[in-house]
Structure 1
């Protein structure tokens, strides 16, 4: 910094103000300092600046898997939102969703010096009495029902599923089969509960669920079972990937979509409009979820207060060509 000051003909304090982006420096002086920095190859020591300022401009993200569409798109949205605020992201995967794994991730992130942490936790873990996060770290959780203990941001899973099932009921289907996600998934449970509630409110039979694991392959296996049931005229799949597997199985068994059987998904992935037929599905605003996660944790950091409660991001039904009235109508 002293070398830059000598070359630019200014004080070290002026160089410090320019490197920190502070106001109050004449533009001509600022440009002279920047030119001196460039000529000397000067780079501010970010670690030293962080220690002095008490902030690292970095957010940690803990998650259990990158194999699901929801997690990938939420992480992407968090990364973009953080960048707009001038923050970097440190990603910390947890191989096994246990208390030991979560605490280990928090410990490692603490060693890497982050200002706050966003946890993408789709399984029922934070609800357990044995799980507790370090109280001195500001935390926002995505995709959980731990709002009584932490600040949570999530898609309105229940409303999205309700829209999907009600759409099929309104088309005249006697009932709707459900291809559910994993039993330990918070989102899957919310979607299943809403499916059941809509059918009960409409006075329709609630059939047994078929369980998948979010993958297209599990959707295909479920589709082989459902295709053999002549009474099955409508299926609500808990995500678009499993809906894709359903479409393949129905095609192989000669069950036409939507003439013989209607299919609705959840997520509205970019490829959903290119399925054959284009998929009716529930749109999730992952960008808004990511933005709200970043806003929430930054607010906690700036106010030095831990927040509680759940923020729900609205969904909407996107109707395409995979749904129609049942054959008897």
Structure 2
């Protein structure tokens, strides 16, 4: 059976160097890594990652905890999952899924948690294993998220650039950091142009967005663009405008937020702020593994710049 020593001899390096290439490839140069990996391939050497995990008293498992209902019409979780699984797989870690009633510290090395709310702070503080959050928070926890404020700044500025006279924000009725940031992006952009913000807040359902537009139709003048905190809200706005025979995008514009499927199945297709879910997932994996390696040391926060994807629901 080929051993670590055989690989080291074949590559003309020390056993420590081979170990670093296997367990901490970021600590060696690309050239040295290629030499060692080539020796491993030629000798048909396969590291025993299970034994390594046991030696470090680890399971090589990270659990993704989802603390909100997953609607089958919200496909962004699938993109996020693929990103996380890809990032963990690079380091021979497995991903488990859990809901809020299946959170145990047995058999896992750490957690990625999404959908947390202010009410979750108490049990998060007592979790006992390294964890990071997907989503902004104001409690000092490590997190990665889209730059929500920047996203709505881009959307609002684009609406103004397309000469919509009125720009209205329809937010998600949640007292959470991501929603505050999205509203702030809208408000700050309007105020920088000496314009007065107008905000509606509803639960994140397309039917409620449709109802909102219908009920306020008499107060909505043409030449208005709706900045929506989600594509689900945006698709409801589009439905209502079409019911009223409005011209989209000439008289009314609509901009969503998320950029995964719903913006594409709408007719007309929706201009949206696209979140980079696969990249976010990969970064979440990287951060939690770093935190596990550093025995729970603070990692900080990362905000990823979103992309404004222009489509048929706004003027060209």
Please confirm whether the aligned pair reaches a TM-score higher than 0.5, indicating the same fold. Answer: yes
Contact 1:175 1:205 in 2 (8 A): no
CA positional deviation for 1:323: 1.1
Contact 2:2 2:43 in 1 (8 A): no
1:267 matched to which residue of 2?
258
Q: Distance in 1 between matches of 2:225 and 2:42?
A: 69
Structure 1 unmatched runs, 5+: 1-9, 15-20, 35-43, 96-103
Q: Distance in 2 between matches of 1:203 and 1:296?
A: 40
Give yes or no for the alignment of 1:197 onto 2:188.
yes
Structure 2 unmatched runs, 5+: 6-21, 24-35
2:137 matched to which residue of 1?
145
1:1-329 aligned within 5 A? 50-65=53-68, 66-67=70-71, 68-94=74-100, 105=103, 108=104, 110-111=105-106, 113-125=107-119, 130=122, 132-134=124-126, 136-146=128-138, 149-207=140-198, 209-231=199-221, 233-324=224-315
Contact 2:232 2:262 in 1 (8 A): no
What do the CA deviations read for 1:300-324 (whole angstroms, capped 9, x no partner)?
A: 1222242142100111211112112
Aligned CA RMSD, in angstroms, stands at 3.2
CA positional deviation for 1:117: 0.9
Q: Distance in 2 between matches of 1:115 and 1:156?
A: 28
Change (3 A) 1:226 1:79: farther
Contact 1:264 1:279 in 2 (8 A): yes
Q: Distance in 2 between matches of 1:276 and 1:62?
A: 34
Runs of 4+ in 1 over 4 A off after TM superposition: 10-14, 21-31, 68-72
* TM-score normalised to structure 1 length: 0.74
What do the CA deviations read for 1:46-76 (whole angstroms, capped 9, x no partner)?
A: 6x87544412111011111222455453234
Change (3 A) 1:195 1:29: closer
CA positional deviation for 1:125: 4.3
Change (3 A) 1:26 1:229: closer
Contact 2:61 2:95 in 1 (8 A): yes
* TM-score normalised to structure 2 length: 0.77
